Structure 1
Amino acid sequence: MSPNTPADTLITPSSSPAPGSLPTLPSGRTADTPLEVIACHIRSILKSNDIQQAHLYAQKALELTEGIDNYIEEMTSVDAVGEEIHEVVKKTMEWDWDGVYEKGQTKYRQTSNCCAGTFEAAFISTFAQSIRAKTVLEIGMFTGTTTMAVASVLPTDGKIYTLDIEPYLKEFTKPHFEKAGLDRKIEVLLGDGKESLRELSRRGVGFDMIFIDADKTGYRGYYDAIMELGLLNVGGSLLVDNTLFKGKYFDQKPNNPDPNAEALRLFNHHIKSDPRTNSIVLPIRDGVTLIVRRPASPSSTTDVVLTGLNRNAILNRLSLNSKVALVTGAGQGIGRAFAHALGEAGAAVAVVDLNLENAEKVVGELRGKGVRAIAVRADVTRKEDCENMVTQTITQWGRLDIAVNNAGINFNSPAESTPENEWDLTFNVNTKGVFLSCQAEAKHMLASSTPCSIINTASMATLLVPRPQKQAAYNASKAAVVKLTQTLGVEWADRNIRVNCISPGIVNTALIHENPALKPLVGVWLDQIPLGRLAEVTDLQAAVVYLASEASGYMTGQNVAIEGGQSVV
């Protein structure tokens, strides 16, 4: 066979598929997966009496077999795991593990083949990121490539606990963890793995994700301990590596079985037969099994506490997926934080602000997160602008489920010298603006067949008189927002609209620190707040998601105060 001979010329129509046709399985079904195609080529080799034709099929099978792992790695974002991880992989592959063992520095003869590599690091960390894991357990660390990759995608207060038996490996990985700035997110536990699991259980730690890649004969023991000790959080995932172990998972020699392959074969059957979990084996490299808990209740039960309302776990009830939200005053400060919170919870967000440039900046931030968002300019003191912001939102997405009326202003002046125009402007924005917004939003929401939520921003000033600042107009305007919220909540309660409001305390914004009249008051305010700090905009985000979601479905006309306890002293 000439190397330049076109491959298809070696296939004869009488005995083989036509050029370009897809191979078929014995059942007659077209081969879909790479392994099915390889199997078809091998079967064709066995059937062929033509050496050239058999060689062609062998070449095709070889190309697929040799190329699949390389292709998978090429199409995976391995560069995203970070340069430090690439350095660890390189160091691991070049390290004299035999020499380390001969010197007695390790208990077992380690090998560079145990290095997870950048592909596995990318796979495990991407999975952790996709389930928004905060606490992760890794059983079997070796030189820490997956440990570092997972730690890099955890939130700042997240943590990965990793178990190993070799003190040498803990010292080997420590400088790399520190150099990458990940050491605070990583805790290495040395010693017997099952005892480490019991220690974690005693600490009360639970895990959103657990990854097992350790001694194969210990897999079942680790799994049983995890389940018995309740270490896997509700909704958590368990990933087990090497479950197709070198293709030996079913091909065992009766007289000389491979102990690792036999252990994995028995482990796979054990998982499959466990009524507490569902599992799926993914044929990635040498196999990864994904295990999740089955629902705890039978499908026939009507106990909603057991099953969750509409069979939704409580966190699912906070989801805003497929919802559409509108937020006024969203170009900065509290409104911006609300827009991000609703977007992160799954809603599409119309960012409404008097300053369109600010609104567009926030939209850019949201789209960078993958949130659907549009910018809308509106002056909430103008009826036509309020109607237009609703129209633009519905034109874009066909609906409006959530409206957050947050736009507001504040002036500080003694009551005896408050200018009339300052009083009028404060009420126009803070009170009339909220009413006009609610009115425009309700015109659409009252016609909706699905529950809707309106959330107004009031103030702690509705519960007390903040001091020593002087802001009579602001206090009165926000008190009116609370009464408006209560009135609309009652009036629209039987027509699918819930209306509530949030009353923030003093929020730590640039406005305070840049205002010469307000900055000196911070110390006075802190003395008045039991929690001893000002509110941050992030302190308010969970409340707006709760009020927007079905989780607050029996709540209307309420004023939710988030003020560090200031109103109760």
Structure 2
Amino acid sequence: MTTITPPVARPITPLGILTAHLQTAIEQLQHSEDATESVQKALDLAIGLEEYVNACTTSESKDLKAIAQKTQREPWDQRFSDGETVRHLEQEMLSGHVEGQFLKMLVHMTRARRILDIGMFTGYSALAMAEALPNDGILVACEVDDYVASFAQNLFDQSLHGSKIQIRLAPAIETLKQLADQGESFDFVFIDADKREYVQYFQLLLDEGLLAPDGFICVDNTLLQGQPYLSERSTNGAAIAEFNRVVAEDERVEQVLVPLRDGVTLIRRV
């Protein structure tokens, strides 16, 4: 009996092609010192991808650009405290242009009117989503750091859509419980806060009715520098891996992990 070996799938995505070039380079390095061509092709793919995606995505508004520029200029290495908790802040915590437009598009697509933003930082993602809300739409933004909350509020006050945003200054878990006690629910929820509390946020949203029946949850950093699928993990990497496992095993929802920026997971109740 003749066994037919199925053909190996040809890599067709930038990541797949990048991986193939790197695998070829490793094989060449084992037999030859000249692996320059494959390494160069891999480098070209890696370098060009983000710039091209940015160029092909609708430009950010002047208000979003103002948040990005002011966040970049801020000396975050001098901002560490939020009460009793030590917190390291950095400009890389900003969602950024492509993810901001992605969130804005999701709000348009879902026709959300009430949004919950868990983890606001300087307000880029909050304002991006608020720009897609109708005039009577509301976005509740959770932030634990009073300096950051004031920083964002000043920028919201100067923007066209900032009046739709209500900042709740408190640990996110406390705010979620208060909102649940008040009977609040939301059409769209964006999670980008303490990675160690992601599982709690997710469970509170589902268990306490904070997520509307037809609502969606969008979760940031669910690839976290690749740590969830690598052997070496930080505390946050382990927390994200656990969150991804909990979501995947929860029969109340279905989800898709999109390799956008540092990983974005979309979740809906079934």
Pick the aligned partner of 1:279 from 228, 243, 255.
255
User: How far apart, in 1, do the equivalents of 2:84 and 2:72 lie?
Assistant: 18
Q: Determine the structure 2 residue equivalent to 1:436.
A: none
Query: TM-score, structure 1 length as denominator?
Result: 0.44
Q: Could you say if the C-alpha distance between residues 106 and 272 of structure 1 is closer, same or farther in structure 2, counting changes exceeding 3 Å?
A: closer
User: How far apart, in 2, do the equivalents of 1:105 and 1:118 lie?
Assistant: 32
Query: TM-score, structure 2 length as denominator?
Result: 0.91
1:46 and 2:15 are equivalent in the alignment: no
User: How far apart, in 1, do the equivalents of 2:182 and 2:7 lie?
Assistant: 55
Q: Determine the structure 1 residue equivalent to 2:3.
A: none
1:74 and 2:55 are equivalent in the alignment: yes
Q: Which has the larger radius of gyration?
A: 1
Q: Could you say if the C-alpha distance between residues 161 and 41 of structure 1 is closer, same or farther in structure 2, counting changes exceeding 3 Å?
A: same
1:223 and 2:205 are equivalent in the alignment: no
User: How far apart, in 2, do the equivalents of 1:109 and 1:284 lie?
Assistant: 24
Once the two structures are superposed, residues 43-75 of structure 1 have per-residue CA deviations (whole angstroms, 9 ceiling, x without a partner) of 2122223444x2101111111122222222221
Q: Determine the structure 1 residue equivalent to 2:76.
A: 97
- Give identity over the alignment, percent: 32
Counterparts of residues 237-276 of structure 1 (less than 5 Å): 237-253=216-232, 257-276=233-252
Give the paired residue count. Answer: 263
Pick the aligned partner of 1:55 from 36, 43, 68.
36
| Residue 261 (structure 1) shift | 0.4
1:34 and 2:14 are equivalent in the alignment: yes
| Residue 133 (structure 1) shift | 0.9
Once the two structures are superposed, residues 128-147 of structure 1 have per-residue CA deviations (whole angstroms, 9 ceiling, x without a partner) of 11111111111000000111
CA contact (8 A) 2:25 2:39 kept: yes
User: How far apart, in 2, do the equivalents of 1:70 and 1:191 lie?
Assistant: 37
Does the residue aligned with 1:233 lie in a helix, a strand or coil?
strand
The more displaced of 223-232 and 34-43 is 34-43
| Residue 248 (structure 1) shift | 1.0
- Report which structure shows greater RCO (CA 8 Å, sep ≥6): 2
Counterparts of residues 9-408 of structure 1 (less than 5 Å): 28-48=8-28, 49-52=31-34, 54-77=35-58, 79=59, 81-101=60-80, 108-253=87-232, 257-294=233-270
Q: Give the partner amino acid of 2:144.
A: I
Does the residue aligned with 1:249 lie in a helix, a strand or coil?
helix
CA contact (8 A) 2:142 2:167 kept: yes
Q: Could you say if the C-alpha distance between residues 106 and 174 of structure 1 is closer, same or farther in structure 2, counting changes exceeding 3 Å?
A: farther
CA contact (8 A) 2:119 2:192 kept: yes
CA contact (8 A) 2:217 2:268 kept: yes
Listed as ranges, the gaps of 5+ residues in structure 1 are 1-25, 295-569
Once the two structures are superposed, residues 247-276 of structure 1 have per-residue CA deviations (whole angstroms, 9 ceiling, x without a partner) of 1112133xxx41000010111011000000
CA contact (8 A) 1:207 1:236 kept: yes
The more displaced of 191-200 and 157-166 is 191-200
The more displaced of 41-50 and 91-100 is 41-50
User: How far apart, in 2, do the equivalents of 1:215 and 1:105 lie?
Assistant: 15
RMSD: 2.0
Counterparts of residues 487-498 of structure 1 (less than 5 Å): none
Q: Could you say if the C-alpha distance between residues 153 and 103 of structure 1 is closer, same or farther in structure 2, counting changes exceeding 3 Å?
A: closer
Once the two structures are superposed, residues 383-430 of structure 1 have per-residue CA deviations (whole angstroms, 9 ceiling, x without a partner) of xxxxxxxxxxxxxxxxxxxxxxxxxxxxxxxxxxxxxxxxxxxxxxxx
Listed as ranges, the gaps of 5+ residues in structure 2 are 1-5
Q: Could you say if the C-alpha distance between residues 152 and 66 of structure 1 is closer, same or farther in structure 2, counting changes exceeding 3 Å?
A: same
Q: Give the partner amino acid of 1:42.
A: L
Q: Could you say if the C-alpha distance between residues 58 and 274 of structure 1 is closer, same or farther in structure 2, counting changes exceeding 3 Å?
A: same
Q: Give the partner amino acid of 1:83.
A: K
